[in-house]
Structure formats: structure tokens, C-alpha cells
Structure 1
Amino acid sequence: MMKVFVRTREKALAPRRTRLEIPGWAGERTPRGEGAREQPWHCALFSEGAQYGIELFYPYRNELRVETRDGRLHLEGDFGPCPEEGLQWPPFRDFGGNYYTYQILLDLKVPPGFALRIEPHPRFYTDRTDTCPIAVQALIRRWWPMMFFCVFKSPAEGRVHIFRPGEPFAQILVIPEEAPFDLEEMAPEEAAERELQARRIHANRDRLSGDSRWVSQTDTVFDGTYRQMLRAAKTLAKDK
């Protein structure tokens, strides 16, 4: 089990492994079943991807609104007096108009060979209001002692990003610090084997999905094949 060590400043809310909020940004508590409306958490691929990282929370009592009006970025929030000498205050600032930054002052120490990658929180992909902040990707190496700030993409003209108390605003993934891979065309034998696997799954979806098949409100078929095979794969891996 990998351990990630956390050091926060007094104002920071402790990060945690990302959780699905149901009801909330991950959808309503609508059971899978005939005629149900699709929810993001109904998809096993989304659920696994969304819970893979570490979520960061907005720690202040007053919300911040970030808006672009007449081509200019506006940061509106009441943060009161600076609580500590030497801090950038307010903790948000314009960064060239197209971006803005948040002084987060968070330290996450990962094992050797790993790094931290910042990205948008999964709720960005489920947000229908376009108010979710959009964190800009960044890779931080293990030897760097603190994440001093996060960068966000500015909202489009007339749109607003909102940071609310206790709400997640970004996610961090722990990944290998290097990506030493090349793209190479599959050998014919391997390609044929993968194609055969795909055809077998397709031909046996009814049997593989068991009684988990259902049709949603918009006539989308959810057969649960991937979810059932995922459970089987995890069981096999555990038995080994």
C-alpha cells in the first residue's frame, strides 16, 4: 500500500481520496433499473476514474466568484485582513487575464519515482452550470517541497467560476514521474488475439451481464458487462 504524506497550512482543509457525492456532483441516488434516468455513477469506468485521485477543498468561509466581463477578469470575494505576514493576500490573483492562481500552500510527499499531477475535479465533467473551476494540468516532482499555487483557466465572457466553502475544486493524481513508453503497432498475432477477445465478449454480453441489463430513460442499454468482468478480475487478482 502506497502512502502519501500530507502537510497543510492552518487555513487549509485536509485533502482526501476522491469520493463520489451521491446525491451531488456524481448524480442523484437513482438505482440502476428499467426506465431510470442515467447518472454519472452508473458508469463503472467513470466511477473508477473519478475516485482514483485526491480531492482538494476550498477552505474559506466566504465564496469567491471569478468572472470575465468586457474582456477583463474579476475576482470577487471577501477574505478580510491577511492572517499571516508574507502571504499573498487575497490568495487569488489574475494571471495574465486568461488564467488566475490560488495560493494553496499544500505539501504532499509521494514515494520515490512518483509525482503529483493536478487536474480538474471530476465534478467539472458533470457540472451543468459551467461554474466549476477548471484547474490547469501541472506535474510536480517529489523533490519539490510544497505546492505553492494552483493555476485555473479563466471563465469565458459572461461566465463565472464559483468557489464555495468546503467544496472540492481540483484533483491530484499520484503517477510515475516519467512516462517512458513508445507507441508501437501491435504484432499481427497480438492484434488477432485482442480482436478475438472483443468478439467473444460481444457475442456473450447477455450471459456475462447476468441480470444487470437495463434500458434507461433515453433508451440507452446498460448491460453491466464491464462491471461484472471488473469484479471477476479483482477477485482473480486477490486470489493470486
Structure 2
Amino acid sequence: MEKVKYRLNNPRLAPRRTKLEIPGWAGKREPRADGSREQVWHCVPFSEGAQYGIELFYPYDFELRVTTRDGHLVLEGDWGDPPESTLQWPPFRNFGDTFYTYQILLDLKVPKGFAIRTEPHPRFYTDATGTVPIAVPALVRNWWPMLFFCVFKAPPEGDTHIFRPGEPFMNIIVIPEEAPFELEPMEMEEAAERELQSRRIYANRPNLGKGTEWTSSTDTVFDGTYRHLHRAAKEKSRQS
């Protein structure tokens, strides 16, 4: 198992593997049953994607509110006197009114051949308030010894993004530092094989999803076809 090692100047910034908060930003604890409201965690691809990375939590005791007013970025927070160990205070700065930065001072050491990539936290995609900070994607290679700052997108005019104590504000994923692939159309034989697989799954969906069908409160029909195939694929991978 590969290891990601970390070094930081604020213990409350300590990273952890991203978790689904249920109840919380990932939705309510509603069963997959008739009459339930759809929740994002009902979707296996989203759940796996959301838990793939590393989440970071806002480490201060007060809120930071970031607002765009009359085309200018305003950062409001009760920062008080700067601690002796901080190089920049406040650690958040305007960056051209369309972005802002956070002097994060976080070192994540990933294995050779890998890099870290900053991303919005998964709760950004489930939020209905428009207040979740939007981290700008950035790839940092493993030879760079410290993530000195990270960048966020400014909110639209009149909107406010809020950093709250203990809330996750950014996600980091570990990926290969290079993407040495090319895009090309499938050969006819390969395309035919994939089409056959698709048709077989579709034709067998009543059996594959048997016993797991349910209709949501918005009359959307769900079944467990993907979940069953996902479990089978993982079990096959363990046995190989």
C-alpha cells in the first residue's frame, strides 16, 4: 500500500481521507426504498468519487466570509492579532478580485511518479446555498516540498462563500504526475464487444437488479444493477 505523508504548521489542518457525511453534506439517511427522496450517496459512482481523495478542514475558530461587491472582493473575518508563527496574516488574500489565495503551508509527500491535485470539496456539488468555497484545480508534483498557498474562485457578484470552523473546504486527490494516454476511436471489433456487453446488461437488468428496485418521491425508478456488478467486479479483483 502506498503512503501519503504530511507535514503542516497548524494541527487543526490535519488531513484525512474524505468521508461521506450522512446526515450532512452528502444528504439524509434515507433508505433505497419507495417514497424516499434521492440522495447523492445512493449513487455508487458519486460515493466512490467523493471518497477517493483527502479532505482539509478550515482550522480557525471564526468564520471567513468572502463576498463580491461592486466588482471587488471583500474578505471578512475576525482575525485578531497575528500569531508569532504565521508568515502572512491574515492568511487569505485578494488575488485580482476574481480569485483569492490561502497561505496553507501544507506538505503532502506522495510516492515517486505521483502528484497531488487540488479540487473543490465534494460538498460543493451537493450544496444548494451557493456558499461553499470553490478551490481551483492545480497539480503539484512530488518534488515540490510545500504547498505554500492554494487558490479559490471568487463568488459571483452579491454572493458569499463561507469558511466555517471545522468544515471541509478543499479536496486533494493523488494521481499519476503524467497522463501518457492518447484518444483514439475504437476498432470495430472492440466497439462491437463493448456494445454487446451493454446490450447484455440492459437485457438482464430485471434479473441483475431484482429485489432492489424502488421508486423515489419524484417518481424516478432505481435498481441495484450497477451496485451488484460493482461488488462482483471487486470480488473478482480480490480473487485474481
Query: Contact conserved, 2:10 with 2:59, CA < 8 A, in 1?
Result: no
Which residue pairs with 1:64 in the alignment?
A: 64
TM-score by length of 1: 0.98
* SS across alignment from 2:65: strand
Task: Using the TM superposition, give the Cα deviation of residue 226 of structure 1 relative to its aligned residue in structure 2, in angstroms.
Answer: 0.6
2: CA distance, partners of 1:201 / 1:39: 24
2: CA distance, partners of 1:53 / 1:29: 22
Which residue pairs with 2:132 in the alignment?
A: 132
Give the alignment of 1:200-211 within 5 angstroms.
200-211=200-211
Task: Using the TM superposition, give the Cα deviation of residue 85 of structure 1 relative to its aligned residue in structure 2, in angstroms.
Answer: 5.3
Give the alignment of 1:66-85 within 5 angstroms.
66-84=66-84
Which residue pairs with 1:171 in the alignment?
A: 171
- Aligned letter for 1:127? D
Query: Contact conserved, 1:12 with 1:104, CA < 8 A, in 2?
Result: no
- Aligned letter for 1:207? N
Which residue pairs with 1:227 in the alignment?
A: 227
* SS across alignment from 1:118: strand
TM-score by length of 2: 0.98
Gaps of 5+ in 2: none
Which residue pairs with 1:23 in the alignment?
A: 23
**Which string of whole-angstrom CA distances, capped at 9 and with x for unpartnered residues, describes residues 113-157 of structure 1?**
000000100000000000000000000000000101110000001
- Aligned letter for 2:121? H
Which residue pairs with 2:97 in the alignment?
A: 97
Which residue pairs with 1:87 in the alignment?
A: 87
1: CA distance, partners of 2:55 / 2:101: 17
Gaps of 5+ in 1: none
How many residue pairs get aligned? The number is 240
**Which string of whole-angstrom CA distances, capped at 9 and with x for unpartnered residues, describes residues 55-100 of structure 1?**
0110000010000011111000011111125611001010000000
RMSD, aligned CA: 0.9
Report which stretch shifted further, 10-19 or 213-222: 10-19
Distance 1:93 1:33, change over 3 A: same
Sequence identity of aligned pairs in percent?
70
Which residue pairs with 1:122 in the alignment?
A: 122
- Aligned letter for 1:69? R
1: CA distance, partners of 2:185 / 2:6: 41
Pairing 1:4–2:13 present = no
Give the alignment of 1:146-165 within 5 angstroms.
146-165=146-165
